């Protein structure tokens, strides 16, 4: 009766307005790709969908689906696959909403597919100029997109943020997020929705003489209008601070630093948002240059490098911050993805933020206040002995000081954990971390005794991995004296170089189980998915897609795909059938090193695909085998030995960032054709092949520099050609004897 009386008391206008709002809400629910805060808060009611990069608002990479479980996962097989049409690194995790899959590929391309069949609905090409590839330290990768209220948001490599109609792929708006086009800025991370704005950062703190200055920018969801910009490090010495936080940061930097130093602190990946606290969490990157003596000669913490920032998305103002690596000199970024959880710590329920940044310590913070709750090393670490729980600061060891000579440091510049997503299972209360248990020699190049003093991508330092391809004698002329590999023993059990999938208890701060995934070489294993079916899924560099029991780590299934897998898998359901999907493709930071002989990309074409699995599926179709052509006969050269040696140094300074003498995602320049030889300077200096990703270098290289680099490449091509022919002759001689 009360409800009836209340309804009768409503005016006709109120009733009409109520009905109109209901119709709008109903229509919104039918819009393709419609996700809002209400839907995000009730995802448990729709386990079939994977609506965000980490599935949910908390970024757990956990799915409540359990049709595929530990009892039947042995039946897992191929359901369908989709060729992306590219051959580079794939680092994104697809999103599935109401039967439609949205995936991001290299350059920021977008693909919309039927999730049950893989049939293409639409694609979007952001039309990035290949010149911008020069602005990426680590391939033209993209780490994902977001879907919100019927729109798809994705960043393209050139730093533009695109908003697309989720139903058609039609572009609604686009904004350029880069404030200085003369600097090597790029965008490779996924955007983050935070209440009424979409937020994006950038990359570039590893390039040039002084890197770039980091910042994050918030844009209006509907129009793309800029709402605010938060800088992560101060501007040039003497410049006015743009916001109050920069006044605080300036006090931690040397005011006499050189003008070319941009500082770094870029936000190239991990962000998160807590709608209850209305806090946007932003992870920041390394210093630029790495060497603090050049970046900030007087020292200092250099805020807000390698930090976690909690920002109010309404105002763009800082609420709290925690710096994981003060004064960072090791490329120990804190941009790794963050997971939100509610954990009982010391008998008290806490809302926590968890991160495993590059520096090797697993941080649990109170996400409302930034209070440090725990920080234990999840991998072997020797640059610091521990984190002081009173100050929150790491205790740096003598081993961490590479200014006094080359030091073998754990973890390497790759980090004990990098961009590959970790996952949290609320049923086991474990975090599953793809750990990179690898050291490198940090070398202060100007004082090493070697000929190299600068390398683009490392500034005036070098991080050399002592893997199976390491040869101290070969490296000595360039980097000075390094210990021979035979003299080095792993300071912890196992091989010197390995990758490990590790189950970590964030409350007890200890390893529960682990599975070694490589041995002797860096294989670039992928991110992690966990499910309510007591499962953990991970793709590997060797091409295997492996499933483990979430509680014990027991291996339950292994499928060879023939493709290197670096991205994190996801799972979804359509019409009652559960699927597991993952994007495949070798690249990313791997382009700066030779392909591991244990990698799938060493034997098969690096075909980018989306692979989808289901119970009782088929065998996975594999890409074609590699068929590398013989080394072509080199052209004649009258270069002197001195010119060739000079070309070697310049090649390592400017070209080795992307090109290695090995099969890789970028051309092996010992195999260049006669036509490329003839047009070498047009390609290198004037950007003849910029449309293919080979930018022009006439701003840093002279005509003479290009000639010397060319002479060095001709020499290397001749060496490879002659060696190949000698090997062929030996094989012929052996065959004739038999």
Residues annotated catalytic, as ranges: 331
For residues 600 and 640, the answer to whether their CB atoms sit within 8 Å is no
The closest alpha carbon to 378, from 389, 387, 370, 366, belongs to 387
Q: Which structure tokens are listed for 674?
A: 């006669």
Q: What does the alpha-carbon distance between residue 324 and residue 252 come to, in Å, rounded to a whole number? A: 15
Q: Which structure tokens are listed for 316?
A: 């763009």
Q: What does the alpha-carbon distance between residue 221 and residue 241 come to, in Å, rounded to a whole number? A: 27
The closest alpha carbon to 106, from 472, 440, 588, belongs to 588
* 3-class SS of residue 714: helix
For residues 356 and 415, the answer to whether their CB atoms sit within 8 Å is no
E strand or H helix at 323: strand 317-323
- Indicate if the alpha-carbon torsion angle 238, 239, 245, 247 is positive or negative: positive
468: exposed, middle or buried (Cβ count in 10 Å: 0-12, 13-18, 19+): middle
Q: What does the alpha-carbon distance between residue 483 and residue 256 come to, in Å, rounded to a whole number? A: 37
3-state secondary structure 164-201: EECCCCCEEEEEECCCCCCCCCECCCCCEEECCEEEEC
E strand or H helix at 732: helix 703-737
Cα first-last separation, the chain:
102
Q: What is the dihedral of CA 417, 110, 46, 426, to 10 degrees?
A: 0
- Indicate if the alpha-carbon torsion angle 29, 34, 38, 39 is positive or negative: positive
Main-chain dihedrals φ then ψ at residue 459, nearest 5 degrees: 60, -125
122: exposed, middle or buried (Cβ count in 10 Å: 0-12, 13-18, 19+): middle
For residues 139 and 587, the answer to whether their CB atoms sit within 8 Å is yes
Q: What does the alpha-carbon distance between residue 186 and residue 204 come to, in Å, rounded to a whole number? A: 6
Paired strand residues for 186: 203
The closest alpha carbon to 593, from 466, 692, 709, belongs to 466
């Amino acid at each position: 009766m009360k409800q009836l009386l209340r309804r009768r008391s409503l005016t006709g206008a109120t009733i009409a307005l109520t009905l109109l709002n209901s119709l709008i809400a109903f229509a919104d629910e039918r819009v393709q790709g419609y996700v809002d805060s209400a839907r995000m808060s009730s995802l448990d009611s729709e386990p079939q969908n994977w609506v965000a990069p980490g599935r949910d608002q908390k970024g757990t990479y956990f799915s409540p689906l359990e049709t595929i479980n530990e009892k039947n996962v042995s039946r897992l097989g191929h359901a369908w696959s989709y060729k992306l049409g590219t051959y580079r690194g794939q680092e994104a995790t697809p999103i599935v909403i109401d039967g439609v899959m949205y995936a991001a590929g290299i350059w920021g391309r977008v693909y919309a597919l039927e999730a049950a069949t893989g049939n293409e609905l639409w694609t979007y090409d952001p039309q990035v100029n290949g010149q911008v590839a020069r602005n990426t330290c680590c391939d033209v990768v993209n780490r994902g997109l977001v879907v919100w209220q019927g729109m798809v948001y994705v960043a393209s490599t050139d730093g533009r943020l695109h908003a697309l109609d989720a139903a058609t792929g039609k572009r609604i708006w686009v904004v350029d997020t880069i404030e200085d086009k003369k600097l090597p800025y790029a965008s490779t991370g996924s955007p983050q929705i935070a209440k009424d704005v979409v937020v994006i950062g950038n990359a570039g703190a590893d390039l040039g003489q002084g890197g770039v200055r980091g910042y994050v920018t918030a844009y209006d969801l509907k129009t793309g209008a800029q709402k605010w910009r938060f800088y992560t490090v101060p501007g040039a010495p003497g410049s006015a601070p743009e916001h109050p936080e920069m006044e605080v940061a300036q006090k931690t930097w040397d005011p006499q630093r050189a003008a070319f130093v941009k500082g770094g602190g870029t936000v190239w990946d991990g962000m998160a948002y807590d709608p209850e606290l209305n806090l946007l969490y932003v992870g920041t990157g390394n210093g630029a240059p790495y060497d603090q003596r050049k970046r900030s000669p007087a020292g200092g913490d250099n805020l807000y490098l390698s930090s976690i920032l909690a920002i109010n998305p309404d105002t763009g103002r800082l609420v709290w911050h925690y710096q994981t690596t003060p004064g960072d000199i090791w490329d120990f970024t804190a941009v790794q993805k963050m997971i939100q959880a509610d954990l009982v710590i010391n008998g008290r329920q806490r809302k926590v933020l968890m991160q495993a940044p590059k520096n090797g310590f697993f941080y649990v913070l109170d996400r409302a206040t930034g209070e440090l709750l725990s920080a234990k090393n999840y991998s072997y670490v020797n640059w610091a002995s521990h984190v002081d729980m009173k100050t929150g600061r790491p205790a740096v060891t003598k081993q961490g000081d590479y200014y006094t000579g080359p030091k073998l440091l754990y973890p390497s510049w790759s980090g004990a954990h990098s961009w590959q997503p970790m996952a949290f299972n609320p049923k086991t209360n474990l975090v599953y971390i793809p750990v990179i248990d690898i050291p490198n020699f940090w070398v202060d190049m100007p004082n090493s005794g070697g000929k190299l003093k600068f390398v683009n991508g490392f500034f005036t330092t070098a991080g050399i991995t002592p893997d199976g391809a390491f040869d101290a004698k070969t490296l000595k002329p360039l980097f000075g004296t390094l210990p021979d590999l035979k003299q080095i023993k792993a300071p912890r059990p196992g091989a010197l170089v390995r990758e490990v999938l590790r189950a970590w208890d964030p409350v007890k701060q200890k390893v529960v189980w682990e599975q070694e995934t490589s041995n002797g070489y860096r294989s670039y294993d992928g991110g992690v998915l966990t499910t309510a079916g007591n499962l953990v899924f991970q793709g590997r560099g060797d091409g295997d897609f492996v499933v483990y029991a979430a509680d014990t780590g027991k291996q339950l299934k292994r499928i060879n795909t023939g493709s290197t897998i670096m991205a994190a898998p996801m799972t979804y359901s359509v019409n009652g059938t559960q699927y597991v999907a993952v994007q495949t493709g070798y690249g990313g930071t791997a382009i700066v090193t030779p392909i591991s002989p244990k990698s799938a990309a060493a034997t098969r074409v690096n075909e980018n695909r989306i692979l989808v699995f289901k119970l009782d599926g088929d065998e996975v179709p594999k890409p074609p085998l590699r068929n590398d052509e013989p080394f072509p006969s080199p052209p004649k050269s009258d270069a002197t030995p001195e010119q060739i040696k000079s070309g070697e140094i310049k090649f390592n300074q400017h070209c080795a960032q992307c090109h290695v003498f090995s099969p890789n995602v970028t051309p092996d320049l010992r195999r260049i054709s006669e036509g490329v030889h003839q047009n070498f300077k047009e390609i290198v200096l004037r950007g003849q092949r910029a449309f293919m990703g080979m930018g022009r270098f006439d701003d840093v290289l002279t005509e003479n520099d290009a000639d010397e680099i060319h002479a060095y490449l001709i020499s290397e091509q001749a060496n490879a050609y002659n060696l190949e022919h000698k090997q062929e002759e030996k094989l012929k001689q052996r065959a004739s004897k038999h």
